[in-house]
Structure 1
Amino acid sequence: MKTIKYILFLLLLIQATACSKYLDHDVEDRPRSTTIDYTNLGAMYSPVSGAYRTAAGENPGFVHWMDCGVRVVRGDDVAKGSSPNDQGTLSDIKNFQNENPGVVTFWGNNNYWNDHYAAVLYCNEALNDLDRYRANIAASDAANLAFYNQYRSEVRVIRAWAHMLISRVFGNVPIITNNDSLTTRRASSVLEIRQWVMNEMDSAIGFLEDARPNQSTHKGAITKYTALLIKAKAAADAAGNDNGSPFWDVVLSATNDIINSNKFSLYPDFYQLWKLPGKLSDESLYELQFTDFGTSTGTSVLPGAFFTFQGPSGNQQGSPISGWGFLAPTQTVVDFFNSRNDSVRLKTSILFVGSSESSYVVSPSGDTVYGNSNSQTRFMGKAYLPRNQMTGGRTDYGSNNNVRVLRYADVLLLNAEAKVRKGQNGDVPFNLVRVRAKLNPLTGVTLQQVLDERRAEFACEWWGERYNDLLRTGQAATVLANQGFAPGKEYVPIPQAQKDLDPNL
C-alpha cells in the first residue's frame, strides 16, 4: 500500500501536470519536438530550458500566487491583505497558529509543497535526460562534454534553490535527488539541507559559465556567481547568530569571489530596478523570465497570477493597475522606513492607494490608483509595473516583467555581515547599498546596522528574506512576539496530506 501511495504521489506531480508541457519548451516557451533524439547533441540544452521554464511556473514552479503568500506573511513587513475572510488561513500562518487544524490541512501549504517538490522532480528527470545525451558524447568531444557538465550544473542549482525554498517554509524536509527513491525518503534537518546545498554548489561552480547571467550564452541563465550566492546564503543560515561559526568564512569567501570578479554592479535607480528598465540588469544573479514578445496580442509568457495577486483591489476605473489585493505592507515597515528617512525604498517597496473607493493616490510613475472597500491603502510596490511601461494592448498586471530572485545587493550585505561578525570592517560593501538608496554613508557599521539595511533593502520581496533573517539571527522571538512567535513555531507544519502519504515526515 505504501508503494502505491508513492506511485500516486508521482502521478500527481508528473503525469497530471504534463511533464512534456515544460520539458519540451525552451526559455521563451516555443514548443520543441515531443520526440527526443539523444544522439542529436545540438538539442542537449532542451531539458535544461525545460527546468528553467518549470521553475518559472506555477504548478509546478516557484511563482504560484499562494506559494508567495505562504513564504512572505510570517515576517513583520507584510500582512495577508484582501478582505479578512479571503484565504484567512494566511493570517493564521502569520500569527504562528501552527496547531490550528486549518493550518495543518491548509490547501495552500500542500500546494507549496507540491509545486516546489514537483520542480525538484522535473530537475531530476532533466538530469536523467542529460545523462542519456552523455551516453552519445565521444570521449574526444571536449566541447560537448563541457556543455554536458555545465548544463547538469545549471539544473542542480535550480534543484538546490527549490530545496532551500521548501526548507525555509517547512524546516526539516526530504532531500530528493532520485525520483526512484521516493519510497525511502526521510526528512533531513535544516542544517543538513544547508550543508547539502553548499556541497551541491561546490560541485557545480567549476563547470558553470564565468559570466553575469545577462552575459551568458543563454541570456539569464544561471552562472557560477548564482551558485556562489546560493552557497553564501546557505552558509549564513547554517552559521545562525554564532559569530565564531566557520560558516561565516564560507559566506565571506563566496561573496568575495563574486565581488572580486568585477562583473556586477548595483542598478543605479532602485525604483526602476523593479520595472522594465531593470530586467536582467548587471545587479541580477537570477531572475525568472517572462515576456509578451513586445506584441499587443497573441502569446504571452506570464507568471500566472503572481503579479495580479498583489495588485491593488477596488474599482480602478479601467486602469490595468489592478489586482486581487493580497499582501499588504504593514504600518510597521512604513514606520521603519520613515524613521530612517528612507524615502527611495519606501516609494519602491510600497504602492499607496486612495483611502476610500472614491479617492486616489498618484503613484511615482503617474498612475492614478483608487482605494477599495477593505480600506487597504498599501500594496506591494515591487510588483507594480507602471502603465506607461506596459506593451500597448496588454492589460495583465505586471505583464512583460520578470520576477527578481537573487541580487548583487544581497552579495554586498552578506559580505558586510560576514566581515562585521569576524571583527573586520564592512563599511565598503554596506555603503554601496546604502548610498544607492540616497542615504548618507556610515562608518564603523555594526551588525545591527547591517541587519537593518537588509530589512530595508529586501522589504516586501517574495522569498521570505525578512523572516529568514529574523530566524537565523535569533531575533524572531523578540520582534515577532506580538504575532505569536515562540520557540518550536519556526516553521509551517508539514501538510497533513503529505503525512498521510508518509508517516515518517
Structure 2
Amino acid sequence: MILSLVGCTEKLDEPQLNNNFAGSTDFTKTENMKLSIIGAYEAFQSRGWEQPLLISVRGDDVNSGGLGDQQDFTETDLFNYNKDYWMYNSLWENIYVDVVSTHTAMDLIKKYQEFAGPTGVALGDQYIAEAKVLRAIMLFDISRVWGDVFLTKTSDTSELLNVTVVPTKAEVMQHLSDQMDEAIPMLPDMHPNQRQDLPGGVTKYTALAIKALANQELKNYQAVAEATGQIINSGKFALFSDFYELFKTPGKLANENILEIQYSDFNKGTGDREAHLYAPYGPQGWTPIIAGSESGWGFYEPSMKFIKFMLDRGETVRLETSVLFTNRGIAEIQKDAAYATLPSFVKNTTRDGDKINDYARAFFASGKHYLPSKQLITGRTSYGSNKNYTIIRYAEILLTYAEALKQGASQTAISADQAVNLVRQRAGLIPISGVTLDNILDEKFAELGMEWGKRYYDMIRLERYSELSYDGRTFTADKKYLPYPQGQVDQFPVLGK
C-alpha cells in the first residue's frame, strides 16, 4: 500500500500523456474509434478498494471493522475526520484522474469523427454520450461525499488551476442532470445486457437513472418521477427472482441491474483477470467449503442497528443475504433478551457451506460483497474473484420513484404502493397499502443496506440526522461532508476558502 501519494496535477496529466487510448493514433482508421470508449470504461471500472468503502462507511447500516491498521477509516465512521488521511486524497485524486480519462476519450472520438461517414459520426455521438454517463456517476459520488467539487469540462487539467469559485453541490447535480439530457437521445434504447457490442454498457436507462438520482439530491421530485417513470414504463427491467443469488455469479448482468462494474476471470483458473479487491469486505477468518479460498480483512461490518431492524421486520432472505454471521456476533445479538431466539438461518455457516469463524475486528461481515467459495473459478483463490460490483439496481429505481410521489410528484407510471410492493414481494413480505414516506425509507434501508452509502446519503438529504447518532456515535450537520484532502487544498487554495 502506497501511503505517499503524488500531487494531483501531476497525476491528472497521466490520462493525456500515457493511457490506453492515446499515443500514435491514425484517426483515419475509424473502425478503431471503439477503442477510445473501451478506454473510458476501463478507467471507470478501475475502482481502488478504498473508494467504495470510504463512500459507504458513514451510514447506520454499516460499521468499519475495528482493531485494524486503518484507524482513520474507523474514525471516519465515527465522524472524526482527518483531512490528511490517505484515503481521502486517494478517492478525490483517482476519481478526477478517471473523469479526465473520459474527457480524453471524448476528444479522441471527435478526432475519429472528422474522418468518419454519417454512420461513424452517429456512433461517435453515442460513444461520447456513454463517456458523459460514466463521468456523471463519478462526479455524483464525490459531490455527495464533499458537496462542492470541481466540474472538469475538458481534458485540459491546467484549467483547474484557474478556478476561483468551486461549483456548489446543487450546481454539480444540475449540471449532471443537464448532461444526461444531452446524452439520452444518443444512447441505445435497450437494457444494458442487450447490448451486443459492449454487453452491460451504458444505455438510455443508465442515464435516466443518474438523472433521477441527481434530481433527488436537488429535491426536484417531479423530475425524479419522470425519469424513473420512463424506466418503469419501458418494461425492460425486472427484479431478479432470487435476492440471495443477485449479488453472486447468477446475478451478473441480470435484468435488475442498471449499472454494474464488470469483472471476470475469463473462466480460466490462471492468467489474466479483471478484478476488484473484495478482501476488505470479507471475514478475517473462515473455513470455506473449497479449501484454499482466501479470507478477507474484516474492514466492513453490517451494524447491529441494521441487523435488529431487519429482525424486527421479520426479514428472511434479505437479512441472510446482507449479513455473514459469526458465533461471537450471534452471541452479541442474544445479549439483548428481545433477540434471545433467532431464526434458523442466523448461523455462522452460509447456505453455500462456507463457515464464518470468529475474528477480532468485527462481529459480522457483508454478505452482499460475498461470493461463495464454490462459485470461484477453479484455480482462483482471491476473495470474491470474478464478482461484479452493482451500482444501480431496478429495486432502487422503484423505491426512488415511490418516494418522489410521496414527496409531491405526480404519478408517471405505477402507484407508490405498487412500486414498494414489488420490492416487498421479492423479499417474501406481505403487501402494504397507503405507503408513507417512512415506509419507503424503511424499505430502502432493508433493500439497499451496505450498498454505496445509499442509506447515509438518504439520511443527509432528508436531514434525518438523529438516525446517524447510534451505537455511541454523535452526528451533527457540520459532519455531513468530508473535509477536502489537505494535499488538494495545498495545490488548489480555492478549496480552502
The verdict on a shared fold, with TM-score over 0.5 as the criterion, is yes
1:378 and 2:364 equivalent? yes
1:9, distance to aligned residue in structure 2 (A): 3.1
User: Which position in structure 2 is the counterpart of 1:262?
Assistant: 235
Q: In the alignment, residue 222 of structure 1 is paired with which amino acid?
A: V
Q: Give aligned-pair identity as a percent.
A: 36
Query: Could you tell me whether the CA contact under 8 Å between 2:148 and 2:166 is conserved in 1?
Result: yes
Secondary structure in 1 matching 2:476: coil
Q: In the alignment, residue 407 of structure 2 is paired with which amino acid?
A: R
User: Cα RMSD between the aligned structures?
Assistant: 2.0
Query: Could you tell me whether the CA contact under 8 Å between 1:311 and 1:321 is conserved in 2?
Result: no
Query: Could you tell me whether the CA contact under 8 Å between 2:36 and 2:108 is conserved in 1?
Result: yes
Query: Could you tell me whether the CA contact under 8 Å between 2:282 and 2:296 is conserved in 1?
Result: yes
User: Which position in structure 1 is the counterpart of 2:36?
Assistant: 47
1:43, distance to aligned residue in structure 2 (A): 1.0
1:109 and 2:88 equivalent? yes
Once structures 1 and 2 are overlaid, which stretch shifts more, 249-258 or 86-95? 86-95
* In structure 2, distance between residues paired with 1:266 and 1:126: 33
**Residue in structure 1 matching 2:128, options 133, 152, 155:** 152
1:434, distance to aligned residue in structure 2 (A): 1.0
* In structure 2, distance between residues paired with 1:263 and 1:112: 34
User: Which position in structure 1 is the counterpart of 2:279?
Assistant: 308
User: Which position in structure 1 is the counterpart of 2:352?
Assistant: 365
* In structure 2, distance between residues paired with 1:17 and 1:44: 17
Q: In the alignment, residue 177 of structure 1 is paired with which amino acid?
A: K
Tell me the alpha carbon deviations over residues 423-471 of structure 1, each in whole angstroms, 9 at most, x when there is no partner.
764101111111111111111100110111011111011x210100001
Q: In the alignment, residue 184 of structure 1 is paired with which amino acid?
A: N
* In structure 2, distance between residues paired with 1:111 and 1:347: 33
Secondary structure in 1 matching 2:328: coil
Tell me the alpha carbon deviations over residues 37-92 of structure 1, each in whole angstroms, 9 at most, x when there is no partner.
211111111111111111111xxxxx3122222111111111111x4242111122
Q: In the alignment, residue 11 of structure 1 is paired with which amino acid?
A: E
User: TM-score w.r.t. structure 2 length?
Assistant: 0.89
**Residue in structure 1 matching 2:206, options 226, 229, 239:** 226
Q: Which runs of 4+ in 1 moved over 6 A?
A: none
**Residue in structure 2 matching 1:277, options 227, 237, 250:** 250
User: Which position in structure 2 is the counterpart of 1:212?
Assistant: 191
Query: Could you tell me whether the CA contact under 8 Å between 2:8 and 2:93 is conserved in 1?
Result: no
* In structure 1, distance between residues paired with 2:303 and 2:210: 28
1:13 and 2:12 equivalent? yes
Secondary structure in 2 matching 1:400: coil
User: Which position in structure 2 is the counterpart of 1:201?
Assistant: 180
Query: Could you tell me whether the CA contact under 8 Å between 2:129 and 2:187 is conserved in 1?
Result: yes
* In structure 2, distance between residues paired with 1:323 and 1:407: 26
* In structure 2, distance between residues paired with 1:297 and 1:489: 45
1:314, distance to aligned residue in structure 2 (A): 2.7
Alignment of 1:315-464 (within 5 A): 316=287, 318-320=291-293, 322-355=295-328, 361-374=348-361, 376-422=362-408, 425-461=415-451, 463-464=452-453
1:152, distance to aligned residue in structure 2 (A): 0.1
**Residue in structure 1 matching 2:169, options 170, 182, 190:** 190
1:483, distance to aligned residue in structure 2 (A): 2.1
Tell me the alpha carbon deviations over residues 329-351 of structure 1, each in whole angstroms, 9 at most, x when there is no partner.
11000001001011111111111
Query: Could you tell me whether the CA contact under 8 Å between 1:214 and 1:220 is conserved in 2?
Result: yes
Once structures 1 and 2 are overlaid, which stretch shifts more, 464-473 or 35-44? 35-44
Query: Could you tell me whether the CA contact under 8 Å between 2:215 and 2:223 is conserved in 1?
Result: yes
Closer/same/farther in 2, CA of residues 23 and 483 from structure 1, 3 Å limit = farther
User: Which position in structure 2 is the counterpart of 1:66?
Assistant: 50
1:18, distance to aligned residue in structure 2 (A): 7.7
* In structure 2, distance between residues paired with 1:319 and 1:475: 45
* In structure 1, distance between residues paired with 2:298 and 2:15: 30
Tell me the alpha carbon deviations over residues 238-259 of structure 1, each in whole angstroms, 9 at most, x when there is no partner.
00xxxxxxx1110010011111
Secondary structure in 1 matching 2:284: coil
Q: In the alignment, residue 119 of structure 2 is paired with which amino acid?
A: A
Q: In the alignment, residue 439 of structure 2 is paired with which amino acid?
A: Q
* In structure 2, distance between residues paired with 1:328 and 1:394: 25
User: Which position in structure 1 is the counterpart of 2:337?
Assistant: none
* In structure 1, distance between residues paired with 2:200 and 2:306: 32
Closer/same/farther in 2, CA of residues 175 and 477 from structure 1, 3 Å limit = farther
Number of matched pairs: 462
* In structure 2, distance between residues paired with 1:193 and 1:373: 41
Q: In the alignment, residue 47 of structure 1 is paired with which amino acid?
A: S
1:299, distance to aligned residue in structure 2 (A): 1.0
User: Which position in structure 1 is the counterpart of 2:146?
Assistant: 170
Secondary structure in 1 matching 2:489: helix
* In structure 1, distance between residues paired with 2:376 and 2:68: 32
1:134, distance to aligned residue in structure 2 (A): 1.6
Query: Could you tell me whether the CA contact under 8 Å between 1:310 and 1:383 is conserved in 2?
Result: yes
1:422, distance to aligned residue in structure 2 (A): 1.9
Query: Could you tell me whether the CA contact under 8 Å between 1:286 and 1:404 is conserved in 2?
Result: yes
Query: Could you tell me whether the CA contact under 8 Å between 2:286 and 2:356 is conserved in 1?
Result: no
* In structure 2, distance between residues paired with 1:45 and 1:392: 33
1:16, distance to aligned residue in structure 2 (A): 9.1
Secondary structure in 2 matching 1:296: coil
Gaps of 5+ in 2: 1-5, 330-346
Query: Could you tell me whether the CA contact under 8 Å between 1:312 and 1:321 is conserved in 2?
Result: no
Query: Could you tell me whether the CA contact under 8 Å between 2:399 and 2:444 is conserved in 1?
Result: yes
Once structures 1 and 2 are overlaid, which stretch shifts more, 148-157 or 376-385? 376-385
* In structure 2, distance between residues paired with 1:71 and 1:345: 22
* In structure 1, distance between residues paired with 2:151 and 2:17: 23
Secondary structure in 1 matching 2:438: helix
1:79 and 2:71 equivalent? no
Secondary structure in 2 matching 1:86: coil
Query: Could you tell me whether the CA contact under 8 Å between 2:15 and 2:97 is conserved in 1?
Result: no
Secondary structure in 1 matching 2:475: coil
Q: In the alignment, residue 464 of structure 2 is paired with which amino acid?
A: Q
Query: Could you tell me whether the CA contact under 8 Å between 1:205 and 1:224 is conserved in 2?
Result: yes
* In structure 1, distance between residues paired with 2:80 and 2:280: 24
**Residue in structure 2 matching 1:297, options 267, 270, 273:** 270
Once structures 1 and 2 are overlaid, which stretch shifts more, 109-118 or 65-74? 65-74
* In structure 2, distance between residues paired with 1:121 and 1:496: 21
1:136 and 2:119 equivalent? no
Secondary structure in 2 matching 1:287: strand
1:369, distance to aligned residue in structure 2 (A): 2.3
Tell me the alpha carbon deviations over residues 162-187 of structure 1, each in whole angstroms, 9 at most, x when there is no partner.
11111111111111112321222341
